[in-house]
Amino acid sequence: MKQNLWITGNQPNAKRLVALIPNYQQIGNELVWGRFFYNLASKHQCSIVLLTVIHSYDDDLPALHKFTRLVSIAKNGRFGASYHLAFQIPWLKAVKQVYQEGDLILAFADHMVRNHILVNQPLYQVLTSKFSMPVELIDKVQ
């Protein structure tokens, strides 16, 4: 089965970028991350959607504030930026709710999800092999 996995450089033209943020707290410097997403959107010449799953009511407001700031930094005059906070649902369901044909998923290589009862697997592998979604891996933000 063909896997739609690109690691920087040879991606197809995307309608939107959908960045999967496994833990909003891992985003330290919002200015650095916002510029990173801005540069990706500019490079692909499309809008970007930031997606995370919230597991606790205590995380709701801090995540909302962080993503609001990230989006305000990431958007530019030609391409928009938005966010989607999914609450207490599995990652695969959250991605399927947001994903549209033509989107390019941005995922961390170490973002693990439970694929079977006791089996953890990288999310990007599930998205490419099971759902044939195109994925670009995010490694480090500089």
CA–CA dist 56, 126 (Å, integer) = 25
Q: Which CATH number fits domain 5-105+124-138: 3.40.50.620, 3.40.30.10, 3.30.70.330, 3.30.429.10?
A: 3.40.50.620
For 64, phi then psi, to 5°, come to -60, -45
Looking at residues 96-115, what average pLDDT do you find? 91
- pTM for this predicted structure: 0.85
Q: Predicted confidence band at 84 (pLDDT cuts at 50, 70, 90)?
A: very high
Domain ranges of the chain: 5-105+124-138
Q: Which amino acid is at 62?
A: P
> Where residue 141 falls among pLDDT bands split at 50, 70, 90?
low
Section 82-97 average pLDDT: 94
